Chains A and B, each alone.
Chain A
């Protein structure tokens, strides 16, 4: 019995999640929010239809080419105007589109959903760095927790840090908590995007875009500016650290003391 238990414990997955891009990566990063999970599931579901259609079309094409032969088939088919056939090949694709549209809209609207948030994070895009603000706990207009987040230059990287992805000040967010993210820019368009969180939101000057994040697990999530914003567009990455709610609170209180 004990052997069996240890045996299965050894088999238990000990995984490290993929929360940053990998060399020669082909698939997605591991989802950390229900939305990211939904996006990836939807992608896989649509791929099912894609493969079915691709197979069918290739088969038709191949068959047509194969049988178009002056020796084997000297008399080509002269069928024109097949009402049933035309009806079928019009209705079937539209049916498939409708089948895809239902879950697509479900996902779209669940992304829009703002469930009563407990934390608000403000993100301001600058040329070329991100500024983060936490003002839920401030008692005056100049008492917010504000910090800039710059990329760590290649020469300053420590062993194990990711090139062009590491920043000096990370965003800290609690897990299992509804977080409202408000995104704007101070100069030109930017886009705040983190693949493993399923977030990509344009930062527009004068506009205050809202999205929400619900972290399912702890981790360090990497993203990049995703709207061409000038010379150093590629050098303003985003790092979100998902921590336990208690750790978040202690981080916040430390930050408040710093002010």
Chain B
């Protein structure tokens, strides 16, 4: 029984360790990211041809904590088009990146086609 108990404590310890490392790595990585962004700038001056690449993507959205992110993609797509209809496409370019990052190309293609055909069920 004693062995079991010590084992149990070890178990919960090791798994909380995993959790902590994930968290720690996250912090480290954020620092790294900033560094990369800083490093990228001088490079950009050297090679005018290559676009400056900032390693960044659609952030986690607390509205969509599910494993299935289909609604996340769909909502971001609609939000962009709502924004574009209200403010103009150029002002909403950053929002377009948000849906592009997470929507499968085929889905966007299909939706764009529907929009062109006028068969899109949405408001925008």
Contact = CB atoms under 8 A, between A and B. Distances in A.
Question: Do chains A and B interact in one complex?
Answer: yes
Contacts of B50: 253, 256-257
Nearest to A211: B67
A110 B15 contact: yes
A116 B18 contact: no
Contacts of B103: 135
Interface string B38-51: 00100000000111
A49 B67 CA distance: 31
For the residues of B in contact with A, the DSSP-based class is helix
Contacts of A177: 29, 32-33, 55
Contacts of A45: 7, 10-11, 14
A41 B57 contact: no
B104 A208 contact: yes
A180 B57 contact: yes
Contacts of B58: 117, 120
B104 A115 contact: no
A141 B113 CA distance: 12
Given A122-B104, A135-B105, A107 B18 contact: yes
Nearest to B64: A210
A197 to B, nearest CB: 14
Nearest to B36: A245
Band of interface residues on B: 35 or more
Interface string A214-237: 100000000000000000000000
For the residues of A in contact with B, the DSSP-based class is mixed
A214 B18 contact: no
A236 B55 CA distance: 29
A240 interface: no
A227 to B, nearest CB: 16
Interface residues of A, number: 60
A252 B104 contact: no
B22 A110 contact: yes
A208 B69 CA distance: 5
B91 interface: no
B26 A99 contact: no
Contact of B69 (A41, A206, A210, A256): A210
A102 interface: yes
Contacts of A117: 57-60
B2 interface: no
A207 interface: yes
B102 A176 contact: no
Contact of A133 (B12, B59, B60, B104): B104
Contacts of A256: 50-51, 53
5 contacts: A118-B55, A124-B106, A177-B29, A208-B68, A249-B40
Given A115-B26, A141-B105, A177-B29, 13 more contacts: A35-B18, A41-B15, A48-B7, A120-B101, A136-B55, A136-B57, A141-B112, A144-B105, A208-B72, A209-B69, A245-B32, A249-B40, A253-B50
Query: Top 8 closest A-B pairs, CB basis?
Result: A106-B15, A208-B70, A120-B57, A103-B11, A208-B69, A115-B26, A103-B15, A135-B100
